[in-house]
Amino acid sequence: NSSSDASHQSSTEHPSLEHFWMPFTANRQFKANPRLLTKAEGMYYTDIDGNKVLDATAGLWCCNAGHGRKEISEAVSKQIKEMDYAPSFQMGHPIAFELAERLVELSPEGLNKVFFTNSGSESVDTALKMALCYHRANGQASRTRFIGREMGYHGVGFGGISVGGLSNNRKAFSGQLLQGVDHLPHTLDIQNAAFTRGLSHFGAEKAEVLEQLVTLHGAENIAAVIVEPMSGSAGVILPPQGYLKRLREITKKHGILLIFDEVITAFGRVGAAFASQRWGVIPDIITTAKAINNGAIPMGAVFVQDFIHDTCMQGSNELIEFFHGYTYSGHPVAAAAALATLSIYENEQLFERSFELERYFEDAVHSLKGLPNVIDIRNTGLVAGIQFSPNAQGAGKRGYGVFEHCFRHGTLVRATGDIIAMSPPLIVDKREIDQMVNSLSDAINAVG
Ligand code: PLP
């Protein structure tokens, strides 16, 4: 059959790797020994040599509904035929408004306005600018400082790396980071909280450092605090019990906006639509991207409290209130993918599934305790981090070795330094969870 021959041929043809400068990748190492994916269906990728790879990462925390969803590809195809693109600057198209309305049905109370972006990094920049816009419109233009957190990841824009706290992402650009940014301490505490299931009892007091920063800089100079309710990219760092609530209390007391960066946690990852809902703390702004449309088309969204939006709607109604936006804000094809994705989440009750599977997933990942060099395991919803002590070859080598072994044996996990993160699509079943954990166990034993 010639058509299957053709598809077979295209999946085994290796392209030249010379010209694509790959993001967040050791390019020379990768190109010497590449890992190329060509297909995706359900819980599995297929690599270029035809091997099946179980996806324990939802791509890159994106594909919460699993891969190859027909509902999404059909919606995309229909929309692209009907209207491929239309601007959102002084023009509009119904599907973007429809999506905003659907999204606020899911969002925490009061966050009823949505600004569309194309990525998590853009969502973060948008949120930071909104905070400045709000304070200025509110007659408090001196509030320009931001407070982020050590080990935070907020994408790679200059705003995001400034409030972010991963030193490798900042060091090379340090001369040009935003002025007036300070950082809270991170909440990782292996000494006291290793192998905690869910949120630890230790560390809520780290939120009190915010009071010190307010004293140092003056509340009247601080625009916003931005944190991930759970840090994903730094290796699944959970908030201690009571910590987020304390941040909320202190920010409210001082008129400082609280931004939750939920680019990873929104859309079901931690057992609720938003981490804000799971942990019962409502911020003023929430940034999202990734799973908003199952990673199908680049898209992000910033959710905003009504009072922020309404304060910015000032002056003559002929004036543009917020000089900010992207050519592709509310892109109709990305919006169509998002609407189809939200329907899947709802019809298949995937956020509830993430919550219901939490205990099984937790038991499975914690069974890795006691394996060589495992120094911590952290989990919530359908996300887990497994941390190793570094080996003699240097930081990150053991984590990379485990990742690489898993991949070669048919499971895709994610390594951040010496931490392995697992964040499977929310359609995962118990057998697949077992398979992922077995694969990881074999890799940990083999790498040593
Ligand atoms: N914010 C958080 C919390 C993230 O985890 C990420 C990406 O992983 C981003 C922002 C950046 O998103 P993007 O890579 O889409 O710009």
pLDDT of residue 2 exceeding 50, the answer is no
* pLDDT on residue 219: 98
Q: What is the atom index within ligand 1 of the atom nearest the CA of 157? A: 16
* pLDDT on residue 11: 52
* pLDDT on residue 175: 92
* pLDDT on residue 1: 35
**Same domain membership, residue 376 and residue 340:** no
Give the separation between CA 355 and CA 352, rounded to whole angstroms.
5
Distance in Å, CA 295 to ligand 1 centroid: 12
**Same domain membership, residue 415 and residue 285:** no
**Same domain membership, residue 86 and residue 9:** no
Of 292, 320, 347, which marks where a domain is finished?
Answer: 347
**CATH code, domain with 410:** 3.90.1150.10
Range in 5-9, 336-340, 417-421 the model is least confident about: 5-9
Give the separation between CA 132 and CA 44, rounded to whole angstroms.
43
Give the separation between CA 333 and CA 356, rounded to whole angstroms.
32
ipTM over 0.90: yes
Question: Per the structure block, which two tokens stand in for 441?
Answer: 């166990």
**Same domain membership, residue 314 and residue 260:** yes
Q: What is the atom index within ligand 1 of the atom nearest the CA of 120? A: 12
Which tens digit of pLDDT belongs to each residue from 137-195?
A: 999 999 999 999 999 999 999 999 999 999 999 999 999 999 999 999 999 999 999 99
* pLDDT on residue 12: 63
**Same domain membership, residue 307 and residue 414:** no
**Same domain membership, residue 313 and residue 193:** yes
**Same domain membership, residue 324 and residue 224:** yes
Q: Count how many domains the chain has.
A: 2
**Same domain membership, residue 196 and residue 315:** yes
Picking from 284, 241, 242, the residue whose alpha carbon sits closest to that of residue 261 is: 284
**Same domain membership, residue 93 and residue 19:** no
CA dihedral sign of residues 96, 98, 101, 103? negative
**Same domain membership, residue 180 and residue 167:** yes
Which tens digit of pLDDT belongs to each residue from 76-104?
A: 999 999 999 999 999 999 999 999 999 99
Q: List helix spans (H) across 113-218.
A: 120-137, 158-163, 167-171, 190-193, 209-217
Of 347, 377, 397, which marks where a domain is finished?
Answer: 347
User: Which residue's alpha carbon is at the smallest distance from atom 1 of ligand 1?
Assistant: 154
Question: Does the Cβ of 119 fall within 6 Å of ligand 1?
Answer: yes
For the entire predicted model, the pTM comes to 0.96
Which tens digit of pLDDT belongs to each residue from 253-301?
A: 999 999 999 999 999 999 999 999 999 999 999 999 999 999 999 999 9
Give the separation between CA 151 and CA 387, rounded to whole angstroms.
15
* pLDDT on residue 193: 97
Q: What is the atom index within ligand 1 of the atom nearest the CA of 300? A: 15
Distance in Å, CA 7 to ligand 1 centroid: 34
Of 347, 371, 391, which marks where a domain is finished?
Answer: 347
Could you tell me what percent of the chain has a pLDDT over 70? 97
DSSP letters along 59-78, please? HHHT-TT-B--HHHHHHHHH
Tell me the best of 128, 151, 154, 262 to mutate to test the pocket of ligand 1, counting ligand atoms within 8 Å of each CB and taking the most: 154
pLDDT of residue 61 exceeding 80, the answer is yes
**CATH code, domain with 164:** 3.40.640.10
Arithmetic mean of pLDDT, 65-73: 98
Distance in Å, CA 255 to ligand 1 centroid: 27
Contact between 258 and 210 (Cβ < 8 Å): no
**Same domain membership, residue 371 and residue 313:** no
Question: Does the Cβ of 240 fall within 6 Å of ligand 1?
Answer: no
* pLDDT on residue 14: 85
Contact between 315 and 321 (Cβ < 8 Å): yes
**Same domain membership, residue 129 and residue 50:** no
pLDDT of residue 379 exceeding 90, the answer is yes
Contact between 96 and 335 (Cβ < 8 Å): yes
CB burial of 402-440 (b: ≥16 within 10 Å; e: otherwise) equals bbbbbbebebbbbbbbbbbbbbbbbbbeeebbebbbebb
Question: Does the Cβ of 226 fall within 6 Å of ligand 1?
Answer: no
pLDDT of residue 7 exceeding 60, the answer is no
Domain that holds residue 413: 2-65+351-447
pLDDT of residue 3 exceeding 70, the answer is no
